[in-house]
Amino acid sequence: MRVNLEALPIEVLVGQLFVVAMRRERSLKAAMEDHRKNHYGGIFLRRPNLRFTDRTRRLTYGFRKHTREVPPILVCVDEEGGLVSSMARLTVPAPSLGLLGGIDTEDLTRDVHHGIGEKLMALGINTVFGPVLDVNTEAANPVIGTRSFGRDPDLVARHGKAALAGLRAAGILSCAKHFPGHGSTRLDSHVTLPQVEDSREVLDARDLHPFQEALAGGDPPDLMMTAHVAYRNLDKPGVPATLSRAIVQDLLRRELRFQGLVITDSMDMKAIAEHHDPAQAAIKALEAGVDLLLYGEDAALAAQAYAGVLQAVKSKKLSAERVAESVDRVFRVRDRFRGQSWIDDNRAEEILRFDHDQSFYRAALQGVILEGNAGALRDLQNQGRKLLVIPREVSRRRLPLQVVREQLLPAGYRVIETSAVPTEEEVAKAKQSADIADAIVVATASRGSMPEPTKRMIQTLTTRDVVKVGVALLDPADADEMAATNCRLKTLGFSGP
């Protein structure tokens, strides 16, 4: 059923272009009132919103039913597997894309993403921001890493298409990201604006290739997320893709012929928020050709942007026709939700507790790589005093170290935890135990280049002639700094609770 756009007030039309995070402390009723006030066309749910299955389903069902005059809204999450997982508390965590790319079995990638899609649908979520199609060519990249299928554009393209096919089979909307590529940057767009200097020829062969292949395949993404990254040879220096008409309209729409919805990465990230007023940033993105504005953290910033866009339309600084063009595209996609049946409680519980778990486990078992002398692992069992030095958190996510201690204490281990980047005091404490240990296991969890304090800790703890094992919990490149150990375990990504 098509909606007559001319019958809707401009306040409603403008609101349909906003996808806004649920405030962490809000009840379902308050959250729905927040979204109704500005007529937002989508809600973005984060890990804190997905703590209990029944509450999550009540939340998504409420949002599914609270819009009557327009199609059901977008209910969105980040769910990439590995580090970026919103539903990890509610079901078996999915493996990282880096792990799937390392295994390099496209059928497994498709099966895993079919599982991700069906589990999200069981929670009442209809849109997933994934898969990542960035090619991780920069080893020092602090934000992509194992979120990418890998360094080879052809491999990323093959597995990107497999992931999209799996999500399509589950019936969930997919969103490829971060166009036209975030894998070759040394900076994180959450904290600053990265700039890519490479030529158009290099970008075509490397960064753009997976996106081109995805759009040419049988299961193109429903949405495309723009990167808050500037590309010197695609537009003027300092203009991020999100605000670039040359990238959104000329490259993505006209050249690559993308017909779906274009959504921004979160507009509260510093690459945008530190350089632009909230209203002006939103207006520039819409003028560039973006359809949806995402606010993944700051609902107050979204409200400011909404008021600014609304005023710009009323004062004719932004044309109502431009707004209507995107709203029409958005409604065409959201119309698909009208006939979508609600999964009953028992079936939803089955999907979350059992379905597809074997695919996830099968991938995880293949995702640990042993490098060096395998006999060192056997020798560990025969040593007396054993030491494990491990960070207490991986990418700001706390590890269940109490469980680790309970498992390893009977085997003769002492467990010493450090900060993500160890302090001098923590290294000194670990060294005291290492000096009397018969075997030492050192675990690290770097994102991008390994910090110098972590390198110094490894050097300090691995000088003695005892059994030494290194564990790269997150980025397999950490193993390159553990040459003094007898063997190294590389996990190709981390999936945590």
- Contacting residues for 291 by C-beta, under 8 A, at least 6 apart: 17, 261, 262, 263, 326, 329, 330
Helix (H) or strand (E) holding 75: strand 74-77
- Exposure of 124 by Cβ count < 10 A (0-12 exposed, 13-18 middle, 19+ buried)? buried
Question: What is the DSSP secondary-structure string of 412-467?
Answer: TEEEEEE-SS--HHHHHHHHHHHTT-SEEEEEE--SSSPPHHHHHHHHHHT-SSSE
Alpha helix stretches (DSSP H) within 137-232:
153-170, 200-205, 209-216
User: 134, 198, 265, 291: which one is catalytic?
Assistant: 265
94 DSSP 8-state letter: P
Token reading at 83: 């580090």
Cα diameter, the chain: 79
Q: Is 163 helix (H, G, I), strand (E, B) or coil?
A: helix
Let me know if 39 is a catalytic residue: no
Token reading at 413: 């281990």
Let me know if 190 is a catalytic residue: yes
Token reading at 88: 């990890």
User: 66, 190, 219, 379: which one is catalytic?
Assistant: 190
Supply the residues annotated as catalytic.
190, 265
